[in-house]
Structure 1
Amino acid sequence: MTTRAEFRARVTGRPLLFDGAMGTVLQSREAGTGHGFDGLNLTDPAVVGDAHRAYIEAGADVIETNTFGANQFRLAEHRAAGSVSEINAAGVAIARGAAGDSGVWVAGSVGPLGVVLTPIGRVTPAEAREAFVEQIQALVDAGVDLLVIETMPSIDEIEIAVGIARSLAPDLAILAMMTFADDDRTLLGLGAAEVARRLSGFGVDAIGVNCSSGPNQVLRLTAAMREATPGIAIAAIPNAGFPERDISGRVGYPATPEYFADYASAFVDAGISIVGGCCGTSEEHISAMRIAIDEVRPTSIAPPRPAIVSNGHDESVSADPPTALKQALEEGRFVATVEMRPPKGVAAQKMIASATMLREAGADFLDIADIPLARMRMSAWAAAHLVQLHTEVETILHFPTRGRNLLRVQADLLAAHALGVRNLFVTMGDPARIGDYPDASDDYDLASTGLIRLLKERMNAGLDQAGALLDQPTHFTVGCATSLTSSDTVREAALLAKKIRSGADFALTQPCFDAEAAREFIESYRSESDGETIPLLLGVQPLYNARNAEFLHNEVPGIRIPQHYRDRMRRADDPRTEGVAIALEIVEELRVDVQGIYVIPAFGRYDLAADLLDAIR
C-alpha cells in the first residue's frame, strides 16, 4: 500500500505517468466481446496481464486494475453480479503479477455504477454505498497501492465512493476524477472550478479529469482546476479525441501518439502532476508521453485561457469553449458542410441515412435548415439532435427569427443547447406568404444582428435578454449570412461588418456562381474591415439542369449565374454531372479565399453533394 504521505511526496516531484486504456487494448485483441472486460480477470487472465505488461514496458509509473466496471450493477449486465469480490481480487493479482518488482504502482480502478441515483434516478444512496463497499473492500483487501475513482459523471456519486474508500482505508492514497461533456460541464451542469473545490474537500490526495472529449478539452479543464485549487495535485487523463465510427461500425479514436506526446508536455507546463490516457489510447501513446516527459520536450500547444467569473456565475469554463466547428475554424482547417432538410413528418430514417452517406463522402458538418421556403417540416433543432445522435456528425442549426417572439426564441435556443446542438446559423428566414400557410404570422422581435448579439453578449455570458441569470451560460458558435455577389456590394459589406461587430463567428454565403465577382467582394471586405474578419464558408449549389440554372438566375434574389455556365448546362449531355463539374471549378477558383464550403443540394439530391465532396477530397 502507498501511504498518503508517500503519494503526495511522489507527485510533487516529476510527473507521474499512468497507463492508457484497458478496454481499448482488450478490444484490439478481440477479448471480452459480448461478456464485458472485467470478467476476463477470471476467464482469460493472460490477455489482461499482457495488456498490463505492455504499459509497463511503455514506461507507465502506475497501472490500473481491470476493474473499472466490476460493481454489482454493471456486472449484472453480464450475469456476474455475484462475483464482484472475486473479479476485483483477481484484477489486483493480475496487475501485481505483471508489475513484479518493477516498482510500478498498482491502482485499483473504481468506475461509476452505471445507474442514476435518486432523486433523478431510482437507485438510492444506500444502494450505491452498498455497491461501492463491496468493490472497494475487495480492492483494498487484495493490496492495491492506491485507489482511482474515475469517470464519475455525478458529484454526489463520487462523494459516496470517496467516503466509502476513506472509511475502509484511512491512509490509502485516493485520486478522484470526473468526466465532462463537450460543453465543459458535468452531466448535472457543474463547471471545472466548482468540481475542483468540492472534490478537494472530500479528503482525497489528487483530483482531475479523465475520459471527456480529448486532450484539448482536458488541458483547459485541468488548468481551471489547478487555478481554483492550487494546493492539490491535478490529474489529466484524456481520451484520444472524439470517437469515430468507420463504415463497418467499429469505433476508433483519431489522436495519434505524437499528438499525445505534445499534450503531455503541455500538461506538465501547466503544472499538472499526473498524466495518462483514457479511451482510445494504447501502449504507443504512453510510450510517446514517457519520452516527452523524460526529455522535457517543448510543446507547440498554447497555454489554456484563464478561467472566468462573470455575471454571478462562479464557473471555470472559458468564455468561448469550442465546438468542433469552432476548433476547425480557429485552426484554419478547410471544412465542408452540407445543407439538409428535416423530414415532412416524424420519420427521420431517410434523413439519417442520407446524413450517414454524406459523412462517408467527406462532410465535416451538416447544416439543418429550419422550415425552408416556409414549407411545414419537423422542427430543425429536433432534426439536428437526431442527426448528431445517430451519425456522430456535428450539425449547424439554421435559426430564423421570423415567426418567433422573444420568449420563443430563447426557449428554443435553450432546448437546442440542452440537446447538444451548439452551432447556429442565424438568419431572418423565409416569409410565410411563399409557403404552405401564407396567412401565418411573420411577426418577430429580433432581427438577425439582434439575435447574434443576444447569443454572444447575453446567453453565452449566462444571462437572458432581460438580464436575469440563467442556471449556466450557453456556449453557442454563431454564424451569419452574406452574399459574395450582391447587386449592392457596399451595403452587403456594411451589413456583414455589423454582424461581425455583433459577435458572428463565421459566415455562410449564398450560392456563388461568379468567382471573379466574389473575389472582388472578399478583397474589398477584408481591406475595409480593420482586421475584423471572420471565416467565410462558400455557398455552392451543383446545378441540376438548364431549367434550374435559369430559375436561380432569373428568380432568386442575390444569385447571378454567368451566361457561359447557363450555356454549358443547356448543351450538356449529362446536366447533373456538368453541374457538379461547374461547382468544383468555382470551389477551386475560390479555395484560397475562403475557409470551407457550404453545399446546398438542389431538390434534396444529396448524392450530387456527395459527388462534389468526393471530387474535392
Structure 2
Amino acid sequence: MGEMMFGFEFLPYQKSKDIEHLKAMIEGARGFLQEEVGFVLIPANVRKNAGVNAILSAYMLREHIDVVFVPTISAAGLDKIQIRSQILSLKYANFTCVALIGGDEKDNRSENKKIDGIELIEMTREILGSDIHIISGTPTDMSNPLTRKRLAQKMRLGVDRIITQPIFSSHLMREFIRDFEELRSESKSKAKLSLGVFGLFSAQSAEVINAAHLGFEVPKDYVEMLQKCAKQGSDDAALAAFKHLWVGLQSIAREHNVSLYLSTPKHNDLRAYGKYMEN
C-alpha cells in the first residue's frame, strides 16, 4: 500500500447488495471525488453492536471486487486466545493488511485486563512478522501528551499506516501533518498517513455523533453552520459546505503527499456525492 492511498469505510450487511453498493462507491469516488480507491476497510463491532464478521466479509467481498479489503480486529471483549485466533485467521486467508483496534484501557485492579492497541500491535507482529501490513488509528489532538506518546509507540513498533480521527478544518490538518512528520522522523518510522474525513450533511447527524461519544467531536462551528443550513431549508447549502471541506482537505493532502480516508455515517453510497461534486 503506497504513499497516496485513498480508502473508505464500508459496513457489510447483505452480500449481493454490498457488492452492488461497493462497485458504485468505487465509481463514485473516481467520478465525484477524483480519487482512485486503494483499499476498503471493514470495521468490527461498530459502536459495540454485533455485525457481520470483518474477516469473513472482507474475504467474501474480495472474491467479487478487485480492490484491497482490510478487515479489522478489535480487542474489545476478547481474551488473548480469541485475538490470537483472529490473527492466525488472517494468515490462513492470505490477508496482507489488517486494521487493529485495542480494547478499553487497562485497569490494573482488574484480573481481566483488556488488550490495548499497543499490545495488539505487538501480538500481531510477533505472530505474523513482516508478512502483514498494519493500520492503526489516532486522535488528532497532538497537544495531549498521551496521544503523542501512543502514536510514537505505534510508529516504533512498525505500524505501516496511521488513520486519524475525522478532521474538520484545514488549519488542524496542517498542524497534524507537521507533528506527524516530526514524530515519524524521531521514531525512524516509514508509516504512511491517512487523514480522516467524515461525510456529514445535516446538523441532526452531527448532534447524534457528538452525543454518541465516538472518540471525536464535530466542532461547534461546523454544527452551527449545518444548523444554519437547516434553517434556510436548503440541503444544497449543507452539501456545498461539505464540498468546501472536502476540496480544501484534498488540496492539502496532495500538497503534502498524504492520503484521505472517508468515513460515512450509516450506509452511504458514494453516488450521493454526485449531486454536489458535479456542480
Could you say which TM-score interval applies, normalised by the shorter chain? 0.7 to 0.9
Matched residue, 1:595: 258
Contact 1:404–1:444 (Cα < 8 Å) also in 2: no
**Match for residue 508 of structure 1 among 147, 151, 163:** 163
Q: Relative to 1, partners in 2 of residues 1:476 and 1:538: Cα closer, same or farther, differing over 3 Å?
A: same
1:536 and 2:193 matched: yes
| CA distance in 1: counterparts of 2:180 and 2:75, whole angstroms | 26
| CA distance in 1: counterparts of 2:123 and 2:202, whole angstroms | 41
Give the match's secondary structure for 2:40: strand
Contact 1:485–1:518 (Cα < 8 Å) also in 2: no
1:610 CA displacement = 5.5
1:428 CA displacement = 2.1
Matched residue, 1:470: none
| CA distance in 1: counterparts of 2:244 and 2:104, whole angstroms | 27
1:459 and 2:127 matched: yes
Provide Cα deviations, 1:7-53, integer angstroms capped at 9, x if missing partner.
xxxxxxxxxxxxxxxxxxxxxxxxxxxxxxxxxxxxxxxxxxxxxxx
**Match for residue 21 of structure 2 among 346, 354, 358:** 354
1:371 and 2:40 matched: no
Amino acid of the structure 2 residue aligned with 1:603:
K
1:378 CA displacement = 1.3
1:394 CA displacement = 0.8
1:480 CA displacement = 1.0
Amino acid of the structure 2 residue aligned with 1:377:
G
1:576 CA displacement = 5.5
Q: Relative to 1, partners in 2 of residues 1:411 and 1:557: Cα closer, same or farther, differing over 3 Å?
A: closer
Contact 1:374–1:430 (Cα < 8 Å) also in 2: no
Contact 2:73–2:101 (Cα < 8 Å) also in 1: yes
1:545 CA displacement = 0.4
| CA distance in 2: counterparts of 1:576 and 1:350, whole angstroms | 28
Contact 2:158–2:191 (Cα < 8 Å) also in 1: no
| CA distance in 2: counterparts of 1:453 and 1:447, whole angstroms | 10
1:368 CA displacement = 0.3
Matched residue, 1:262: none
Matched residue, 1:522: 177
Give the alignment of 1:460-475 within 5 angstroms.
Answer: 460-461=128-129, 475=131
Matched residue, 2:135: 479
Contact 1:453–1:503 (Cα < 8 Å) also in 2: no
1:381 CA displacement = 0.4
Contact 2:103–2:114 (Cα < 8 Å) also in 1: no
Contact 2:38–2:67 (Cα < 8 Å) also in 1: yes
Give the alignment of 1:265-304 within 5 angstroms.
Answer: none
1:577 and 2:271 matched: no
Amino acid of the structure 2 residue aligned with 1:372:
V
Give the match's secondary structure for 1:342: coil
Aligned residues: 257
Amino acid of the structure 1 residue aligned with 2:243:
A
1:516 CA displacement = 1.2
1:412 and 2:86 matched: yes
Matched residue, 1:394: 68
1:430 CA displacement = 8.0
Q: Relative to 1, partners in 2 of residues 1:430 and 1:494: Cα closer, same or farther, differing over 3 Å?
A: closer
Matched residue, 1:498: 153
| CA distance in 2: counterparts of 1:483 and 1:589, whole angstroms | 22
| CA distance in 2: counterparts of 1:365 and 1:336, whole angstroms | 7
Q: Relative to 1, partners in 2 of residues 1:386 and 1:609: Cα closer, same or farther, differing over 3 Å?
A: farther
**Match for residue 552 of structure 1 among 186, 203, 209:** 209
CA RMSD of aligned residues (A): 2.8
Matched residue, 1:342: 12
Which structure ranks higher in relative contact order (CA pairs < 8 Å, sequence separation ≥ 6)?
2
Matched residue, 1:31: none
| CA distance in 2: counterparts of 1:420 and 1:392, whole angstroms | 15
| CA distance in 1: counterparts of 2:114 and 2:103, whole angstroms | 13
Amino acid of the structure 1 residue aligned with 2:119:
G
1:568 and 2:230 matched: no
Displaced runs of 4+ in structure 1, greater than 6 A? none
Amino acid of the structure 1 residue aligned with 2:246:
L
Matched residue, 2:33: none
Contact 1:542–1:609 (Cα < 8 Å) also in 2: no
Give the match's secondary structure for 1:581: helix
Provide Cα deviations, 1:196-254, integer angstroms capped at 9, x if missing partner.
xxxxxxxxxxxxxxxxxxxxxxxxxxxxxxxxxxxxxxxxxxxxxxxxxxxxxxxxxxx
Contact 1:342–1:370 (Cα < 8 Å) also in 2: no
Q: Percent identity?
A: 18
Q: Relative to 1, partners in 2 of residues 1:609 and 1:562: Cα closer, same or farther, differing over 3 Å?
A: same
Contact 2:25–2:271 (Cα < 8 Å) also in 1: no
| CA distance in 1: counterparts of 2:166 and 2:66, whole angstroms | 27
Q: Relative to 1, partners in 2 of residues 1:426 and 1:496: Cα closer, same or farther, differing over 3 Å?
A: same
Q: Relative to 1, partners in 2 of residues 1:560 and 1:590: Cα closer, same or farther, differing over 3 Å?
A: farther
| CA distance in 2: counterparts of 1:400 and 1:581, whole angstroms | 32
**TM-score (norm: length of structure 2):** 0.80
Structure 2 unaligned regions, length at least 5: 31-36, 106-111
Contact 2:74–2:101 (Cα < 8 Å) also in 1: yes
Larger radius of gyration: 1
Q: Relative to 1, partners in 2 of residues 1:376 and 1:557: Cα closer, same or farther, differing over 3 Å?
A: closer
Contact 1:338–1:609 (Cα < 8 Å) also in 2: no
1:525 CA displacement = 3.5
Contact 2:73–2:86 (Cα < 8 Å) also in 1: no
Give the alignment of 1:209-248 within 5 angstroms.
Answer: none
| CA distance in 2: counterparts of 1:586 and 1:550, whole angstroms | 23
| CA distance in 1: counterparts of 2:266 and 2:122, whole angstroms | 33
Give the alignment of 1:57-206 within 5 angstroms.
Answer: none
1:386 CA displacement = 1.3
Contact 1:584–1:615 (Cα < 8 Å) also in 2: no
1:526 CA displacement = 2.5
